[in-house]
Amino acid sequence: MDFIENNSDAQTNSDQSNISDKVAAKALDKGFIEEQSRIFKNTWIPVCHESELPDPYDFRTSSIGNENVIICRAPDGKVNALLNVCPHRGMLIERRPQGSFLEGQASGNPKRITCMFHAWQFDMRGNCVYVAREKEGYQDRFCKDDAGLRRLRCEVNYGGFVWVNMNDQPAIFLEEWAGAAFSAIESQICSAPLEVVHYHKEVVDTGYQQLMSQDFGSIAGDANAANLDYGHIVTRHGEVENNDPSQTSSFPSPESGQSTSVRLFPGFAFHLDGPTLNVATITPLNDSQVMIEHRGLAPKADSEEERKLRSKHYNAKFGPFRLQKMPEPNESVSGKVEENGLFIHYNNEWLRWMDQHPNGETRISEFPSSHSKTQGLSENGELSGPHIVVIGASHAGVAFVDKVRKNGFGGRLTVFDRQVGGPMERPPLSKAFLLGGGETVESKSLLRQKKWYKTNKIKLKTQSNVEAIDTKKKTITVSSGAVINYDNLVIASGAIPRELPDTHGMGNAFTLRQPSDANAIRQAANNSDTVVIIGGGYIGLEVAASLRKKGMAVTVIEAAKRILARVASEPLADRLTTLHEDNGVQVLTGVGVDSINAEDGIFDSVTLTSGQKIVGDMLITGIGVFPDSKLAAEAGIETQRKDGGAILVDETMKTSEEDVFAVGDVALRRDQSLAIESVHNAQETAAVAAAAVTGSIAPTLQTPWFWSDQYDVKLQIVGVVPVSDDDVYQVARTGKRDGAVSFWSYRGKELVAVEVVNDPATYMEARQCLDTGQSPDPEQISSLSFSPIDSGGARS
Amino acid sequence: MENNSLVTIERKIEKIIYQAALALDENNWADWFKLCDDSFFYSITSFSPEIGKDMTYFSGDKKELTGLMDMLPKHNTDHSPLRRHTSVYTIDISEDGKTAEAVSSVVIYQNLLDGINSHLDSGESRLFVVGKYHDKFLINDSLPKFVNRETKIDNRRLDKGSHWPL
Ligand SMILES: Cc1cc2nc3c(=O)[nH]c(=O)nc-3n(C[C@H](O)[C@H](O)[C@H](O)COP(=O)(O)OP(=O)(O)OC[C@H]3O[C@@H](n4cnc5c(N)ncnc54)[C@H](O)[C@@H]3O)c2cc1C
Ligand code: FES
C-alpha cells in the first residue's frame, strides 16, 4: 500500500475475485454515489500516462466513478478521452485494458473503434463514421453525425500524464488547479520524456475517507509539509532515507537523493523518491473499498543499468513485494488523525465539494456541475430580451447570427446544430480536405473561430438535435429534452444528400455533406485504390479530381447524356469531361445503375444498365440533395409538398408562420422555381432574413455565384445557366492566360450567365455585367479585344 | 550423456523443484537455500498488458534474500500461509550435462489467518497468485542446484501479504 507509505492499518482485500462484481454490489451506498458525482466527476483525474499509448490508434481504458473511459491517440498524435459507451444502445464498447485500433478486430475495421453489438464505428475523436443500416432503421430521423462518442475534457501535462475531467465545463483549468502543487517537482518530471515501466494495483478493504486519513496519519507532524489551495499537500525531504546524503542531484538523475511528494486532492500522489517516480492513483469502488494503482516511471533514455538501479529502489519502496515497517510502539497512527493539520486541510476541501463546510464554503457553485448544461436557456447569462433561435449552424445559420448582430440585435441568440464540433465550411470538404491525411477537420476550415461566438454573445449548442417545433407555443424541443422558447425562429437546416436504396447500410459506400462524411471518405480513401462515383455533378466531379490526385483509379457514372447536365452549359461540361479524361478518370455518361453490389456488407461493384460491371474499393454517391424540411412540415409550416420539399418563403424569407424564417438550402422563395444550393445563396438569404427580423434595410441582391475547384482548374460561375431552355446558347471567349476560357450564355441578346475557367479577371467583368444588367454584344464577346464592360467599346 | 543418467537427473530436478515448494510453503528459508547454489539469483517478474512492459517486481541474490529473511520479523507481515501447487512441465538438460532449465506451473493459494475480522476470515482459502517458475540449475556430480529462479506471475493486482519469495 504505497499510496500511503508505511500504512499499517489499511486492510487489503486479498480475495482476487472480479472487482467489477463487488463494485456493482456495494457501490449503491448513497453517500458513496454523492461523493463520486460531486468530487470525482468534477475534478481532474490522471487516468494514465501518455507512454501507455505510444503510437497513433493506441488506446487505454479506465474508469471514473461508474463511467468507463477510452483514452486513445489520434493519427495526429493527439490524445483524446471518450466515454466508452456506445450511443446506440449504451453498451460498453472496448473491453481490453490497452491495445491498438490500427488493425481491425474480428468485428471491426482498421483504425476504428467498433462496437461489437451492431458494428457502429467511431474514429479516434469519437466521431461516428459508420452506422449499419443507418437510414433504413431510422426512417431518416437519425444520422450518424448525431451519434459520436461523448468526448471528455482531456489534457496531457505534468510529465506526460493524461488528465481527464468528466465535467465538460470545468470552471477551473488544470494548470490553475494543480500548477502550484506541481511546481515542487515540475522541473524534475518534465526535464526528460518519461515512460511507465512498473504497474501494479491493489484493492484495499478501506473506505476512501478512512484511507486518506491513514495516509495523512502516516505523514503527520511532517514539518516540511505545505498546504496548498484546492486541498493539495506537498511534502519535501532533503534526502531519501538510507541514501548517501552527499548526493544532491535530483530526479531524473539516477543518483538522485531527494524526495518530494505531491498529494493532490482527492487522492493522487506523485512521489519523487531518489531515482524513482511513483504515482499512486485511487479509484474508490464502494463505501468500503478502494483500488490503488501504482505506476513507476523512468526516463525513456535510460540505459539498462540505470533501469536496474531505479527498479531496485522502486521495488524496495513502492513495489508489491516491498517490506513495510511496523510502527514504533509509541507511534500510534490512528487516534491522531483528527488533530492532524494535513488531514484537516484535506477534509476541509472534501467538505467544500460535498457542500458540508461549516462556513458554507462550497466548490459546487464555483464549479458548475455537468447537470447545469441540460437546464433550460432561461439562465441565458447576461443577455435578456427577445430570443432568436436558429436551427442549423452552417453557412446560412452562422451568416444569419452574424448579420443580425451587425444589424444591432441585442437580445439572446442561440444556434442549435446536431453536428459534433464547431461549424465548418462545406466547400473544402470535397476539395483540399480530401487530400489531407489526418483524421481531424482542420480548424482553418471553421466557419468562425470559437472566440467569435463568445465575443458576439452567440450561444452555440452543438450535438443538439432539434426534434420538434411548436409554432403555437413558440417553442422547440431539443434532443436533451429541453424545451426552449423563441420569439423568432430561423430554420437553416440545409439539405440531405440523396442515397441510392441499394447502398443503405453498405460498408465503404458514402455520401458527402458533413465534415464527418468527408472524414470517413478520407479515411477509407487512405486504404483504397479504386473508387466508383455515381453522379457527375459538382460534388462528384470535385471528389473525382481530389481522389485522382491522391493516385486512386476513379470511375464517374452519370445517367444523363453528359456531366453537369442540371447545372452547367454543354461546352463547359465538354471541357470538364476532357479535363477529367486527360487526368485519367473514366467518365461514363448516358448509362444508368442497375444494381450496387456488396460482398460481406462492403461495397464491391456497380452493375450498369448496359450490363457492364465496375468494380471498386469504395463508392461515393453524389446525386443531389433534398431539403431537410421534415421538422418544418411536421410543425405545419408550408413546404413544397405536404410531406416535404423546400420550405416556402416570401421575399423576406418568412415562412407561412409569422415569426418563423427559413434560409439557405432548405428555403425556396414562392416566386422562384429553382432552388440554388450555394454558399452565396446561404449568405444572401440569411442577410435578407436578418434585415427582416431587425427591421433593417434589406441588402441589394447579387446575381447568384458559385465556384468549383478541380485539379488546377478554378471554375467561377455567375448567374444560373438555364440548361433546359433551348433558346439559350453559349459563346466561348478565350482568355489571355493559358487555358483561360469563359462561356457566355445568352437568351437572344440577353446575357443570363457566365461560366469562367481559370480567368478571375473575366469573372469579375462578367459579374459586373450581370449585377448591372448589361448584356455585351454576343457577336463580339468571343473577341478578346472586345471589352464586355462598356458594351461595344474596344479594349485598350 | 547416457539415457539412463539423463532420466535420473531429470528425476532429481523434478524432486528439488518439489522440495523447494515444500520448503517455501513452510517459510523454511534455510531448507530452501540448501537447494540453491551460492550464485543463486531470484526474481519475481510479470508482463503488464496495461503498459505493454515486462516488469521485475522483486529481485535479489542469496545474500540479499538472506538479509530480507532476517528483516521479516521487523515488518508488517500478513501471517496467512501460502500453499503452492506446482507441476513440472519441461526439463532441458544441456549437452554437456552441466546445466539444465525447467519450466513449471505454479498456483498459490492463501489460507487466511489474519483479516479485518480474523474471527470471520481465518481458515478460508483464496486463490492468491498464478504463474510459472522458470528455473536454471547447475549440475555437479549429478546433483542439481538452483542457480536462478524467475517466478513469472500473471497477477498485476497484488494485495497485501506477499512480500516473501513465492
Ligand atoms: C462537399 C460540398 C462542397 C460544396 N462546394 C461548394 C462550393 O464550392 N461553392 C458553393 O457555393 N457551395 C458549395 N457547396 C454547397 C454549400 O455548402 C451549401 O449550399 C451550403 O452549405 C448551404 O448551407 P445551409 O446552411 O443552408 O445548409 P447546410 O450546410 O446543409 O447546414 C445545415 C445545418 O443544419 C443542421 N441541422 C439540420 N437539421 C437540424 C436539426 N433538426 N437540429 C439541429 N441541427 C440541424 C445540420 O446539421 C447542418 O449543420 C458544397 C456543399 C458540399 C456538401
Ligand atoms: S449498441 Fe453499439 S452498435 Fe448497437
- DSSP string spanning B63-93? HHHHHHHHHGGGEE-----EEEEEEEEEEEE
Structural domains in chain B, sorted by start: 3-153 (3.10.450.50)
Residues of A in contact with B120 (CB under 8 A): none
Confidence of residue B73 (pLDDT cuts 50, 70, 90): confident
pLDDT at residue number A502 = 87
- Cis peptide before A284, with omega less than 30 degrees from 0? no
Query: Is B118 within 8 Å of chain A by CB?
Result: no
| Complex confidence, ipTM | 0.86
Q: How far is the CA of A665 from the centre of ligand 1 (A)?
A: 7
Model confidence at A484: pLDDT above 80:
yes
Q: Report, at the CATH architecture level, how domain A1-11+195-370 is classified.
A: 2-Layer Sandwich (3.30)
Mean pLDDT of A19-40: 70
Q: What are the cell numbers at A221?
A: 507532524
pLDDT at residue number A91 = 85
pLDDT tens sequence across A666-709? 999 998 888 889 999 999 999 999 999 988 888 888 889 998 99
- Class of the A375-433+446-496+626-701 domain? alpha beta
What are the structural domain ranges in chain A?
Answer: 1-11+195-370, 375-433+446-496+626-701, 501-623, 712-791
The set of residues, in sequence order, having a beta carbon less than 8 Å from that of B34 and lying 6+ positions away, is none
The neighbouring-strand residues paired with A667 are A647
pLDDT at residue number A141 = 41
pLDDT tens sequence across B94-126? 999 999 999 999 999 998 887 767 778 788 888
Question: A320, B48: Cβ pair inside 8 Å?
Answer: no
Question: A199, B68: Cβ pair inside 8 Å?
Answer: no
The full length of chain B comes to 166
In A23-66 the beta strands, taken as DSSP E runs, fall at 44-49, 58-64
High-pLDDT (> 90) share of chain A, %: 56
The CB-side HSE value for A151 (13 A sphere, CA atoms) comes to 20
Alpha helix stretches (DSSP H) within A651-780? 679-694, 760-771
Annotation: CATH topology of A501-623: FAD/NAD(P)-binding domain (3.50.50)
Helix %, strand %, coil % of chain A (to 5): 25, 30, 45
Q: Same fold for the domain at A501-623 and the one at A712-791?
A: no
pLDDT tens sequence across A126-160? 988 887 655 444 434 444 555 789 899 999 999 99
The b/e string for A512-548 (b: 16+ C-beta within 10 A; e otherwise) is bbbbbbbbbbbbbbeebeebbbbbbbbbbbbbbbbbb
**Ligand 2 pocket, Cβ-based, cut-off 6 angstroms:** A 86, 88-89, 91, 115, 117-118, 120
pLDDT tens sequence across A169-188? 776 889 989 999 999 999 99
pLDDT at residue number B62 = 92
Q: Distances from the Cα of A41 to the Cαs of A86, A283, A483, A510, A777, in angstroms?
A: 20, 12, 26, 38, 72
The full length of chain A comes to 796
Model confidence at A20: pLDDT above 70:
no
| Alpha carbons A231 and A233: distance in angstroms, whole number | 7
Return the residue matching grid coordinates 482531456: A154
pLDDT at residue number A260 = 92
| Alpha carbons A221 and A165: distance in angstroms, whole number | 33
Question: B78, A311: Cβ pair inside 8 Å?
Answer: no
pLDDT at residue number A460 = 93
Confidence of residue A248 (pLDDT cuts 50, 70, 90): low
B-chain residue closest to A53, CA distance: B51
pLDDT at residue number A716 = 93
CA angle (A479 as vertex; A472, A650 as ends), nearest 5: 45
Model confidence at A792: pLDDT above 90:
no
Model confidence at A278: pLDDT above 70:
yes
CB atoms closer than 10 angstroms to residue A133: 13
What ligand has the least distance to the C-alpha of A647? 1
Looking at per-residue pLDDT, the higher value among A80 and B163 belongs to A80
| Alpha carbons A84 and A86: distance in angstroms, whole number | 7
CA angle (A20 as vertex; A14, A25 as ends), nearest 5: 90
pLDDT tens sequence across A507-552? 899 999 988 888 889 888 988 999 999 999 999 999 999 999 999 9
Q: What are the cell numbers at A736?
A: 489571355
Residues of B in contact with A51 (CB under 8 A): 51
What ligand has the least distance to the C-alpha of A117? 2
Mean pLDDT of A775-788: 92
pLDDT at residue number A142 = 45
Greatest mean pLDDT range, A196-210, A439-453, A652-666, A692-706? A652-666
Taking the domain A712-791, which CATH number applies? 3.30.390.30
Q: What are the cell numbers at A361?
A: 464554503
pLDDT at residue number A32 = 85
- DSSP string spanning B110-145? EE--S-TTHHHHTT-EEEEEEEEEEEEEEEETTEEE
pLDDT tens sequence across A621-657? 999 999 999 999 999 999 999 878 999 999 999 999 9
Mean pLDDT of A349-375: 63
Residue among B116, B128, B162 whose CB faces A205 most closely? B116
Q: Which of A198-202, A361-365, A447-451, A737-741 has the lowest mean pLDDT?
A: A361-365
Min distance A176 CA to chain B CA atoms (Å): 29
Q: Which of B41, B46, B55 to mutate to test the interface with A (most CBs of A within 10 A)?
A: B55
The b/e string for A402-417 (b: 16+ C-beta within 10 A; e otherwise) is bbbbeeebebbbbbbb
pLDDT at residue number A718 = 94
**Ligand 1 pocket, Cβ-based, cut-off 6 angstroms:** A 391-397, 416-419, 426-427, 429-430, 465-466, 492-495, 512-513, 539, 628, 631, 664-666, 677-680, 682, 706-708
